[in-house]
Amino acid sequence: MTLVPTWSRPAGRAGGLTVLAVADSTERVGLSVAMLDRLSVPGTTVGLAVVRTGHTPSPARIRNETEGTRQAGLRVPVLSARQVRRLVRRRRPDAVVLNCSGPLVESLSWSMRSVIRRYRPVVVSALPALAVPAVEGEWLHRSRADLVVAHSHREVAEYTALGEKLGARGEVGLGSLPLGRREADQEARRDRVVYAAHPGVPDTERARQSVLLALAELAGNRPDLEVVVHLGRERNAGPELVVTWDALLAEGRVGEHAPLFRSGSLVDQLGRARGLVAVGSTAVLEALAHRVPALVLTDFGVGPAQGNAVFEDSGLFGTLADVRAARFRRPNRYWGERNHFHPPGQDDWVERLYDLHERGRRGELA
């Protein structure tokens, strides 16, 4: 088994920063790759490793996430947490980016801060994609990080305030999500409505039935539209929806007008999308980044459990009645600038990382 990543060494001055990123899921691999690309400047050496957990992506998925980036074609080892620690001891990177679940970040950051006497890397950790309202647990898991990367001005403000309340020493920096923003193709057919499934939401059989019945009604009333239920990359976002649909079929409550169930990349569904529907997830952000109008359902409540609290005041909220009428919305500009759609030039986490590194060299980090 290969235990060492291939390090990307851009041409430039010697003695630059060396950064290791560690991820534990497909989405966090994608985020880590995007962050390493921001750091891949002359004089900086970067590498990526995946820590083995119950959500470890397959080698094919890892290759897919690195395709088209500076990590493409490079060796990305899958390691245990202990092997990650050994890699850090051996390679001694200047900074370690821990893009993992909160408990794993807490465990690894503890050892990163005391892994070798007189060696102290800068510890960085990005928040989940949708991290508002600010949650104490997310901060506490990252209490030993020097830099917490948030993805919107709102997240920066809320986690900075919460960190001060908790007495956390880490800084909060701003870093855009890798949403792949694109201009809309004006000539593309817009004849598809996409429902983006999300694991466990909605959380009751009756609620899932109401969603599927609304989509079936839309498909029956609008034969000019293709209605798609997107189940995620590997059909893992909404398997319960498939079970519910089969039950509706068996009961004769739905007929020939049926939504299409699809898996794979959401981007593949957005090219022809007239609108995207979700209870709440990053799929809404991805649709908006591709200039696709969206609808965030409030029929099942609004809050962290539904994953839609971040969309309050966005202008995107609606109900299943809007689904049946194929009514979609675009967010208001102020909400967008505060929530994930700020100009990338406003990101400051890279500058903060270099500043922390310099402070570390002077022995000023705790």
- Starting at the edge strand found earlier in the chain, the sheet holding 122-126 runs 78-79, 45-51, 18-23, 95-99, 122-126, 147-150, 171-174
As given in the structure block, the two tokens for residue 334 are: 């102020």
Compute the distance between CA of residue 23 and CA of residue 30 in angstroms, rounded to an integer: 9
> Looking at this protein, which amino acid is placed at residue 3?
L
- pLDDT mean over 221-228: 95
**pLDDT beyond 70 at 15:** no
**pLDDT beyond 60 at 103:** yes
User: Could you tell me which residue, 113 or 171, shows the higher pLDDT?
Assistant: 171
User: Could you tell me which residue, 261 or 233, shows the higher pLDDT?
Assistant: 261
Nearest to 26 by CA among 342, 264, 325: 264
DSSP label at residue 72: T
Q: What is the pLDDT of residue 111?
A: 77
Q: What is the pLDDT of residue 1?
A: 45
Compute the distance between CA of residue 357 and CA of residue 113 in angstroms, rounded to an integer: 14
- pLDDT mean over 229-244: 84
User: Could you tell me which residue, 185 or 147, shows the higher pLDDT?
Assistant: 147
The radius of gyration of the chain from alpha carbons, rounded to an integer in Å, stands at 22
Q: Give the tens place of pLDDT for each residue, 36-59.
A: 999 977 788 999 999 999 889 999
**pLDDT beyond 80 at 116:** no
18-178+344-361 shares its CATH topology with 192-338 = yes
pTM, whole model, 2 decimals? 0.90
Compute the distance between CA of residue 301 and CA of residue 158 in angstroms, rounded to an integer: 22
Whether residue 211 contacts residue 238, with contact meaning beta carbons closer than 8 Å, is answered with: no
User: pLDDT band at 186, cuts 50/70/90?
Assistant: low
As given in the structure block, the two tokens for residue 165 are: 């309340």
**pLDDT beyond 80 at 9:** no
User: pLDDT band at 117, cuts 50/70/90?
Assistant: low
Q: What is the pLDDT of residue 346?
A: 97
**What average pLDDT does the chain have?**
90
**Given 3.30.460.30, 3.20.20.70, 3.90.870.10, 3.40.50.2000, which CATH number is that of 192-338?**
3.40.50.2000
Q: What is the pLDDT of residue 181?
A: 63
User: Could you tell me which residue, 80 or 44, shows the higher pLDDT?
Assistant: 80
**pLDDT beyond 60 at 70:** yes
Residue spans of the domains in the chain: they are 18-178+344-361, 192-338
End-to-end CA distance of the chain: 36
**pLDDT beyond 90 at 28:** yes
Kind plus residue range of the DSSP H or E element containing 318: strand 317-318
| Percent of the chain's residues with pLDDT above 70 | 93
**pLDDT beyond 70 at 135:** yes
- pLDDT mean over 238-244: 88
**pLDDT beyond 50 at 11:** no
- Could you please state the CATH topology (level 3) that the domain comprising 18-178+344-361 is classified under: Rossmann fold (3.40.50)
- How distant, in Å, are the alpha carbons of 86, 313, 340 from that of 304? 37, 15, 17
Q: Tokens 């429902």, residue?
A: 195
Burial of 358 by CB count in 10 Å (0-12 exposed, 13-18 middle, 19+ buried)? exposed
> Looking at this protein, which amino acid is placed at residue 310?
V
| Packed helices 26-39 and 59-66: angle between N→C axes, nearest 10 degrees | 40
Q: Give the tens place of pLDDT for each residue, 305-354.
A: 888 999 999 999 999 999 999 999 999 999 999 999 999 999 999 999 99
Compute the distance between CA of residue 210 and CA of residue 202 in angstroms, rounded to an integer: 10
